[in-house]
């Protein structure tokens, strides 16, 4: 007689195994039994599950239009560089996209994406994992500076700028997602130097939004609690500041620098946030000849994406993506026919947390979804 297999305690299964699963796999497990469904639907479990998920870089894909203003395939996917080969995880598929109405991922925070469509008067906040979304109508397409959770209120807020009419100064404003409260003025846009960072995605760390200010050679910081701006020092030791990106590596602020003249990579990490002390963790050169022969181009961009020194290299005019390690070795090349691809410099961490602003006033989930995308 065969002895029965040992049964793991339910608490161990839920809090050590299920909490680590990707959202799609976790949702399949909900059908196993009522107990699992009840425990994994609790707010504390969903929050713990979100914290366990990896933060992955988002890459945009747009097909080449076959006719003028024709609808083409468009997508935003997450790249999991921990896998070998690199795993491409679907995040969004746009069902209404053309070269007249391109999409833009303006911000990413806690599994939420802030999206805009050129020519559309609305902005959209969506959770691709749960396929929920709401519309915002009070923002301009290119004026968003960042999205963040407000610590004391528990609400999500958006920092943006706009110019006043009749010769007034350009100002920064904060609005709360899902609130009818009027936007609040938090300071001068020009005085704070934000005019030089609006195309640089912010990095949220220690309750502050951070941007690279290339002209000043510093970091611009917005305190989300005190709603004030300040400066931080940044390491600049060459003339390659134009191809640098601010990143968050394992909870630490970092600067990814790509020198396209060699080309070579350097990763700076902020060793002491309060004292503003930086150090170089990785510095290496790329396999230029090998990449050039594949991409048929000698002009590259790139970004360090992990604490292990993983680098994603891409070209302006083709659909090649190259994954290199911290030693400069080419690990994988990805290529798609008739598709443009480029990293958005935004990061995505999927979540099943239920956000109040997605709920209707009667407590039910919203039925209508924007027609231009569908979450996966």
CATH of the domain at 174: 2.120.10
Q: What is the pLDDT of residue 110?
A: 95
- 148-158 as b/e, with b when 16 or more CB fall inside 10 Å? bbbeeeebbbb
Check whether residue 76 and residue 18 sit in a common domain: no
Give 316-351 pLDDT, tens digit per residue: 666 788 899 989 899 998 887 777 888 888 999 999
**What is the pLDDT at residue 5?**
52
Whether residue 71 sits in one domain with residue 19? no
Mean residue pLDDT across the chain: 81
331 vs 287: CA distance, rounded Å: 11
46 and 57, same domain (yes or no): no
- Whole-number pLDDT of residue 206: 93
Q: What is the pTM of this model?
A: 0.88
Note whether 212 and 200 are within 8 A (CB). yes
- What is the domain count for the chain? 2
Question: Do 151 and 48 have their domain in common?
Answer: no
Q: According to the model, what pLDDT value does residue 66 have? A: 57
Listing DSSP states for 8-69 in one string gives PPHHHIIIIIGGGS-HHHHHHHTTT-HHHHHHHTSHHHHHHHHHHS--EEEEEEEEPPSSTT
Residue 3: inside a domain, yes or no?
Answer: no
Domain for residue 150, yes or no?
yes
DSSP 241: G
Cβ–Cβ < 8 Å for 231, 219: yes
Q: What is the pLDDT of residue 156?
A: 94
- Cis peptide bond N-terminal to 47, omega within 30: no
Considering the domain architecture, whether residues 243 and 199 belong to the same structural domain is answered as: yes
- Domain extent, residue 65, equals 53-375
Pair 184, 37 in one domain: no
- Which residues fall within 8 angstroms of residue 67, CB to CB, at 6 or more apart? none
45 & 149 share domain: no
Residues 214 and 287 reside in one and the same domain: yes
Nearest CA-CA partner of 343 in 300, 373, 313 = 313
The rounded average pLDDT for each run of 10 residues, N- to C-terminus, in the chain (376 residues) is 64 87 90 87 94 93 64 82 86 72 85 82 87 77 83 88 63 86 80 65 93 81 91 74 80 86 84 94 85 76 86 78 89 82 90 87 46 51
Whether residue 79 lies inside any domain: the answer is: yes
Residue tagged 């239920």 (tokens): 354
Helix locations, the chain, DSSP H: 10-12, 23-29, 34-40, 43-52, 288-295
Which of 154, 158, 166, 152 is closest to 140 using CA atoms? Answer: 158
Q: What tens digit of pLDDT does each residue of 40-60 get?
A: 889 999 999 999 999 999 998
- Sorted by sequence, the CB contacts under 8 Å of residue 317 that are 6+ apart come out as 297
CA max distance for the chain: 89
Residues 181, 38: one domain? no
Residue 363: predicted pLDDT = 43
Identify whether residues 358 and 219 lie together within a single domain.
yes
CA atoms within 13 A on the CB side of 289: 0
């Amino acid at each position: 007689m065969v002895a029965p297999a040992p049964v793991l305690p339910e608490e161990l299964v839920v809090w050590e195994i299920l909490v680590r699963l990707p959202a799609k796999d976790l949702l399949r497990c909900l059908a196993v039994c009522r107990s699992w469904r009840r425990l994994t639907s609790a707010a504390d479990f969903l929050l713990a599950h979100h914290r366990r998920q990896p933060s992955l870089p988002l890459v945009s894909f747009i097909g080449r239009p076959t006719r003028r203003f024709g609808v083409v395939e468009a997508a935003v996917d997450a790249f999991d560089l921990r896998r070998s080969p690199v795993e491409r995880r679907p995040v969004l598929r746009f069902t209404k996209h053309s070269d007249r109405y391109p999409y833009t991922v303006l911000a990413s925070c806690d599994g939420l994406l802030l999206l805009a469509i050129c020519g559309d008067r609305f902005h959209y906040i969506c959770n691709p994992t749960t396929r929920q979304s709401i519309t915002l109508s009070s923002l301009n397409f290119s004026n968003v500076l960042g999205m963040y959770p407000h610590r004391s209120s528990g609400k999500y807020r958006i920092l943006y700028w706009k110019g006043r009419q009749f010769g007034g100064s350009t100002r920064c404003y904060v609005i709360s997602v899902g609130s009818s409260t009027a936007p609040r003025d938090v300071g001068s846009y020009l005085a704070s130097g934000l005019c030089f960072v609006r195309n640089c995605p912010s990095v949220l760390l220690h309750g502050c939004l951070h941007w690279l200010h290339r002209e000043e050679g510093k970091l611009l910081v917005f305190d989300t609690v005190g709603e004030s701006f300040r400066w931080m020092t940044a390491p600049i030791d060459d003339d390659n500041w134009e191809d640098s990106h601010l990143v968050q590596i394992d909870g630490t602020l970092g600067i990814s620098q790509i020198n396209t003249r060699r080309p070579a990579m350097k990763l700076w990490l902020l060793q002491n946030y309060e004292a503003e002390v930086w150090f170089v963790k990785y510095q290496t050169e790329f396999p230029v000849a090998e990449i050039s022969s594949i991409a048929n181009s000698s002009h590259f961009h790139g970004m360090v994406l992990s604490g292990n020194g993983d680098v994603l290299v891409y070209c302006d005019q083709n659909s090649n993506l190259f994954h290199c390690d911290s030693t400069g070795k080419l690990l994988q090349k990805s290529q798609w026919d008739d598709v443009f691809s480029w990293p958005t410099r935004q990061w995505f961490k999927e979540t099943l947390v239920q956000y109040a602003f997605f709920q209707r006033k009667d407590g039910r989930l919203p039925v209508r979804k924007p027609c231009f995308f569908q979450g996966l």
